Structure 1
Amino acid sequence: MARTTRGNPLLTAAAALALLAAGGAGWGGWSWYAAAHDESAAYATARDEVLAAGEQAVQNMNTLDHRDLRRGLDTWRSSATGELLAQLDDGRPQFERQIRQARTVTSAKVLSGAVTELDTRAGRASVMVALRITVTPPEGKPAAKESRMLGELTRTPGGWKLSALGQAPVGDTAAAAD
């Protein structure tokens, strides 16, 4: 009588499961490595850094208290680079006189922001930031207004800083161009 040799079904199932587990672990490790070294992940991180720096810098540039003018203007300086920094430095004495005479307190709160352009290789970015700006005069009630600002940022050794800042156009600019 010929006897057929069959393997132990339990041993075969265990080997198949071990092979599947090893394949799953290999695929998971490769996926993790690919995601960790993906350029889009690095780009997303840079975009988040630009947005945070841009929002903070725009808020800084729209906040100033006449009672602590030096610190406020120093904060402006630390938020700027390039031509914007040069403009701040050139106009500082005259601006200090104007703020001391006006005796106002201006504070800004970021409502929302977005990165509109980012070139990580060139170290340049653009942001749009919506703010609520509150101006408190020496007498009277505070006045609040909402504003949209466009900022250009440049990467510096100290991080992303504003190199230009201006008001965003409001309304239907296409109709105005006709």
Structure 2
Amino acid sequence: MSTDQGAARRRRAPRPLLAAALALTLLAGGAAGWAGVSWYGAAHDASARYSATRDEALAAAEQSVQNLSTLDHRRLDSGLDLWEESTTGELHAQLVEGREEFERQVRKARTVSTAKVLSGAVTELDERAGRARVMVALRVTVRAEGRKPADKNSRMLGELTRADGRWKLAALTQAPVGDTAATP
């Protein structure tokens, strides 16, 4: 075999290293393309936005319910200001209107109420209208001078409205306990 024939065979012979490098490059390009499409889909997924909005509403509801269940007679003005900042609509108007009378009652009773949220859930969410309904379970501890602290667990139903880019409580009521069905 001549040197020309050997050189020609080497040029035509498969190069395993080059073939492997080309295959890996194609695989890496395909994986990068797939990852990019998947990321874009996840970033623009309506259900992901809905979940984020739901979580934001729930966090605001839990904080607002805790705010409205916590009050110290020694720091009454800042506590009631926080109540007003946490609310909107009719609930806000009721708090502003009844503030003086409520201040008198709390100063006379000399109580300190602290609340801890135990759990919460969004029961309804309308992103477009900026409204949500929630249920929040909490434990409220009331301390009065000269008495033992009293704990009370309760469930609250709240309605939130998005106002100025923030979720605020528009209504808050005690959830019914036990069987509320009418019996004949």
Normalised TM-score (structure 2): 0.90
Q: Does 1:123 align with 2:136?
A: no
Give secondary structure in 2 for the equivalent of 1:95.
helix
Deviation at 1:9, TM superposition (A): 2.8
State the one-letter code of the partner of 1:128: M
Match of 1:10 among 6, 17, 25: 17
Match of 1:91 among 94, 98, 113: 98
Residue matched to 1:80: 87
Residue matched to 2:31: 24
- 1:102-130 deviation digits (Å, cap 9, x = unpaired): 11111111111111111111100111111
State the one-letter code of the partner of 2:22: A
Give secondary structure in 2 for the equivalent of 1:152.
strand
- Greater shift in the superposed pair: 8-17 or 145-154: 8-17
- Greater shift in the superposed pair: 73-82 or 11-20: 11-20
How far apart, in 1, do the equivalents of 2:115 and 2:183 lie?
31
Normalised TM-score (structure 1): 0.93
Residue matched to 1:48: 55
State the one-letter code of the partner of 2:59: A
1:68–1:154 CA distance, 2 compared to 1 (3 A): same
Give secondary structure in 1 for the equivalent of 2:98.
helix
How far apart, in 2, do the equivalents of 1:9 and 1:177 lie?
83
Residue matched to 2:144: 137
Match of 2:45 among 24, 34, 38: 38
Identity of aligned residues (%): 67
Report the RMSD for the aligned CA atoms in angstroms.
Answer: 1.8
Listed as ranges, the gaps of 5+ residues in structure 2 are: none
How far apart, in 2, do the equivalents of 1:71 and 1:31 lie?
48
**Which is higher, the Rg of structure 1 or of structure 2?**
2
State the one-letter code of the partner of 1:110: V
Listed as ranges, the gaps of 5+ residues in structure 1 are: none
